[in-house]
Structure 1
Amino acid sequence: MARHRLAAPDPRARASARLGEGGLFAALILYRDYRLLWVSSVLTQIAQWMLQVSLGWLMLELTNSPFWVGLNGFASGLPFLIVSIPAGALIDRLDRRNLLVACQASALGIGLALAILTTLGLARPWHLLVGAFLNGAALAVNNATRQTLVPTFVPREGLQNAIALLSAGMNVTRIVGPSLAGPLIAAIGSGGALFAQVGCLAIALVNTLQLPSRQDTTRVRLPFLRNLAEGIDYVRRSSVLVGLMLLATIPTILVFPYIQLLPVYARDILGVGASGLGLLYTAGGLGALTGSLFIAGFRRIEHKGRFILVTTFVYGLIIIVFAYSTWLPLSLVMLVLGGVLGSSYMSINNTLLHLNVTDEVRGRVMGIYMLTWGFMPLGALPMGFLGEQIGVPHAVALGAALSSLAILALAVRIPALRALC
């Protein structure tokens, strides 16, 4: 009698089955190292939101100028333009866990210096700008490094779930960070809020130290500048990657800078003060969390390209409505809806980037992706300037309208985006 040997189980099928058993939070339940990375990332981002709210409010108190508030956003985003691509090359050459530790330790030191200056009453606008710039540099490298570690800890079949859960965690921080910072500023001042964010960073650093060193010991041996050029060329030769980068860039320049101007909305347009400012940030974060969990709950989303094009287009329209609202409930609803759409498109965009690159160039590609966040100051500075000239609502609405029009043009010019599944 012939003996039939059972076929070995497909590893991908086993991974998919395990993810299915884990449900919505599969990656967090199944993968210990990813869980450590997630917790560390969430704590770091809570600290970053607390820093952003505290510095934005303090800058408004010191200068009484929307332009200076926008300039502070410019200073925090400018390092993404300067260091993101070189950081990507470093990520492909160095131990990624140790690089993450160095970034978080640097941010902790910067935050501590700002907290001391503020508490002693010595903080000046230029201190805030320098601190925002240095912190932005640490954050740019931190974020790119964090992104490259996700595929190290989670198999390909679980990437959509893992990336969406990480995005959900980041969006939880949009709720927790401002909701902590606003009341803290009102109760004990910006200095106290800054010390609290230093505490969050310290806990995050302890968590990061528990991560294993990068298992893949492959090192890129090409000269540093050649590594940079190779990464840029890798993206340039792919219309899909170019399209995904543009989808990340357009709203970053034209829509996201409204976040930097929320202190102006809280004080001058809606009249809700520092505690109300935290509520505005929280509304956007609640919507973004909802969107991320929506994406995480799906094993697979078909027609991903069409999905991100539509959500990005509608996102701009939602922010136009928010821009002209002078009624707090309507403003909060629009921020929630905008958060849902924004986080949904970013989660899928990020997933598609990881699925379309190899690990050898992942650091450089994600460095270029982080560069797109550096374009925010290119929108924040002129939006702050326009806010003083024509009014903040007109400036925010103009940027959002231009973003939606640009997304339409992108959908027409790069058909490969519409075809992504």
Structure 2
Amino acid sequence: MTTPQAEPMPPAPVPVPEEKGAAWAPLRHKWFRVLWIAQFASSVGGWLQTVAAQWLMLTLTRAPLPVALVQTALSLPVFLVGLPAGALGDIVDRRRLLIVSQAFTLVAAAGLAVLTFAGLVSPWLLLLFTFLIGTGGALMAPAWIAVQPELVERDEIPHATALNAVSMNLSRAVGPAIGGVIVAVLGAAAAFTFNALSYLSSLIALKRWPRPPEPRPLGAEPIISAMRTGLAYVRYSPPVRAVLVHSAIFLFFSAALWALLPILAAEHLRLSSAGYGLLLSMVGIGAVIGAALLHWARERFGLEGVVMASSIIFGLGMVEISLTPRNLPVDLVVLVFMGVAFIGALSSLSAAAQTALPSWVRARAMAVYLLVFQGTQAVGAAVWGAFAQAYGTPLTLAIAGAGVVVGPFAAAAYHVGMGAHYEREIEPLSIEPRVGPSTDHDSGPVLVVREYKVDPEHADEFENAMRLVRGSRRRFGAQRWNLYHDAHDPTRYVETFTANNWQEHMRQHTERMTQADRMMDELAERYVRGEPRTEHLISAE
């Protein structure tokens, strides 16, 4: 029996065409432009919500724990519903899911505004409605990311990702400042109202978006099965694993800056809240500059080169700030460069993930990416906060900055961007559903047996090629894969794998198999005499 453990690189990568157009090219597509503006409005509204909720909690109670729990209530839903939301984003119509989640969030935001105007909000009610708003956002996020490649041409996906990152950074820069002014002049209820209106604008844009319905000849996949298959895809996809490893390292160490920047502003630079807003604005300005430079940088250095260079620049910026904690002019300039680097790293990693994912699994795989994104930042902030409390902010920033610099080198075995070669042809093939042995699609488990005849002189090449086939099978949902070698007949190999039921096996062929999977099969079959013989066995239990 041969049980391959590692997946080698494909022997013949396909060249990737150069990116076309300017950094702002995605905005020429009407519906990307409309939804991008709506997303920016919602992001600003989200910051209004956060500032108003924290300030309102301070007026309701001076206890530190409830104030801290406002941010927890907003972020916790990502961990509770992130994976189910990703599965829903792949098994139901994404546009409808976005509309439902936006409507849910709108109702929650409007309800909080009404209660606040009426003076009926208590600390626990505030936390409850904040949690509901966060739940709506968590339901929406994977599907929102998954539809972005549908709005632009494939070679514009990196630019679209960069523009989405610009939107987030700009909202981070202006949202808190606007929220502070609204709360000071009009009160928290007005800020909650503006937040609700921002969701209304997104809802209107989504309702008007003429996205065609997705054909599902086999119906909707059960959500538990969809979650399991999504996790299997992430586990057995080298390009996606590489993105997750690099993202986790970068976000864990870079979290020290976002966690400690308020302390740096207040205690070392002696700035007010307006001064802290200025620091964040410098990062936002850098993000805009970075978006304009990304096209040039990727053409010159490649995606992996941009990730490495961005990590080095961001890490050195953290070290520089730690060495000059009282030099405001220098720190402002450095933060602009760090904004360029931050968007360069994260937008490149996100684009690498999106271009390596077929549409059938994109939302649930991006849900895993979001969990890594949120989780590593949360853990990193706690770790570096505790470290700074014990050893001081400057030393903490210096050590974390060194970690950002070293990270890409430590993860060099995980090649970011290999998905552009490894799974370039990743959209599902159009294959007619197979006729089952009975009308009961729940029959199973199904054992698939494929027999190959291979000349002994080609045995090594065949076994190496089957390692790629193993990864392909496992990515689209096959279980218990094995390759056996006949002890009596050296030319006979038998491949086996299982599916939960006949319908699941049909999904593997009709909804999930891609041109990349077909190419791996053909690579292995080069060394096979005649046609492989395939049998389907259904459990008699």
Shared fold per TM-score greater than 0.5: yes
The Cα shift of 1:359 comes to 1.0
The Cα shift of 1:89 comes to 0.8
The aligned runs of 1:168-183 (5 Å cut-off) are 168-183=166-181
Q: Which residue of 1 aligns with 2:24?
A: 25
Distance 1:194 1:137 in 2: 16
Amino acid across the alignment from 1:150: Q
The aligned runs of 1:114-129 (5 Å cut-off) are 114-115=112-113, 129=127
Distance 2:186 2:387 in 1: 33
SS at match of 2:210: coil
Distance 1:361 1:384 in 2: 36
Distance 1:346 1:107, change over 3 A: same
Q: 8 Å contact 2:92–2:220 — kept in the other structure? A: no
Q: 8 Å contact 2:239–2:418 — kept in the other structure? A: no
Amino acid across the alignment from 1:377: A
The aligned runs of 1:219-258 (5 Å cut-off) are 221-256=220-255, 258=257
Amino acid across the alignment from 1:243: A
The Cα shift of 1:283 comes to 1.8
Distance 2:276 2:52 in 1: 11
Distance 2:68 2:256 in 1: 8
SS at match of 1:216: coil
Which structure has more relative contact order (CA 8 Å, sep 6+)? It is 1
Moved more, 47-56 or 255-264: 255-264
The share of aligned pairs that are identical, in percent, is: 28
Q: 8 Å contact 1:74–1:377 — kept in the other structure? A: no
The aligned runs of 1:1-400 (5 Å cut-off) are 20=21, 23-29=22-28, 31-55=29-53, 63=62, 72-115=70-113, 129-218=127-216, 221-256=220-255, 258-259=257-258, 262-296=261-295, 300=299, 302-322=301-321, 325-375=325-375, 376-386=377-387, 390-391=391-392, 395=396, 397-400=398-401
The Cα shift of 1:393 comes to 5.2
Instruction: Indicate the structure (1 or 2) with the bigger Cα radius of gyration.
Output: 2
The Cα shift of 1:352 comes to 1.3
Distance 1:242 1:275, change over 3 A: same
Q: Which residue of 2 aligns with 1:6?
A: none
Aligned residues: 400
Deviation track 1:283-322 (CA, whole Å, cap 9, x = no partner) reads 2211112212222567845521132133124323323444
Distance 1:228 1:312 in 2: 32
Moved more, 132-141 or 281-290: 132-141
Q: Which residue of 1 aligns with 2:531?
A: none
Q: Which residue of 2 aligns with 1:3?
A: none
Amino acid across the alignment from 2:92: L
Distance 2:37 2:235 in 1: 34
The Cα shift of 1:148 comes to 0.9
Moved more, 350-359 or 382-391: 382-391
Q: Which residue of 2 aligns with 1:7?
A: none
Structure with the larger strand share: 2
Amino acid across the alignment from 1:417: V
Deviation track 1:229-255 (CA, whole Å, cap 9, x = no partner) reads 211111211222111012222333332
Distance 1:98 1:181 in 2: 30
Distance 1:232 1:174 in 2: 31
Distance 1:241 1:419, change over 3 A: closer
Q: 8 Å contact 2:86–2:142 — kept in the other structure? A: yes
Distance 1:385 1:75, change over 3 A: farther
SS at match of 1:209: helix
Q: 8 Å contact 2:314–2:404 — kept in the other structure? A: no
Question: Does 2:407 align with 1:409?
Answer: no
Distance 1:326 1:228 in 2: 49
Q: 8 Å contact 1:182–1:277 — kept in the other structure? A: no
Distance 1:210 1:382 in 2: 45
Moved more, 386-395 or 202-211: 386-395
Distance 2:298 2:197 in 1: 36
Structure 1-normalised TM-score? 0.80
Q: 8 Å contact 1:40–1:207 — kept in the other structure? A: yes
Distance 1:56 1:137 in 2: 18
Structure with the larger helix share: 1
Q: Which residue of 1 aligns with 2:452?
A: none
Q: 8 Å contact 1:84–1:141 — kept in the other structure? A: yes
Gaps of 5+ in 2: 1-16, 421-541
Moved more, 209-218 or 43-52: 209-218
Distance 1:321 1:16, change over 3 A: closer
The Cα shift of 1:406 comes to 3.6
The Cα shift of 1:266 comes to 4.7
Distance 1:141 1:289, change over 3 A: farther
Q: 8 Å contact 1:38–1:166 — kept in the other structure? A: yes
Moved more, 246-255 or 56-65: 56-65
Q: CA RMSD in A?
A: 3.5
Distance 1:165 1:104 in 2: 21
SS at match of 2:416: helix
Distance 2:68 2:211 in 1: 39
Amino acid across the alignment from 2:409: L
Amino acid across the alignment from 2:136: A
SS at match of 2:240: helix
Distance 2:112 2:220 in 1: 39
Structure 2-normalised TM-score? 0.64
The Cα shift of 1:378 comes to 2.3
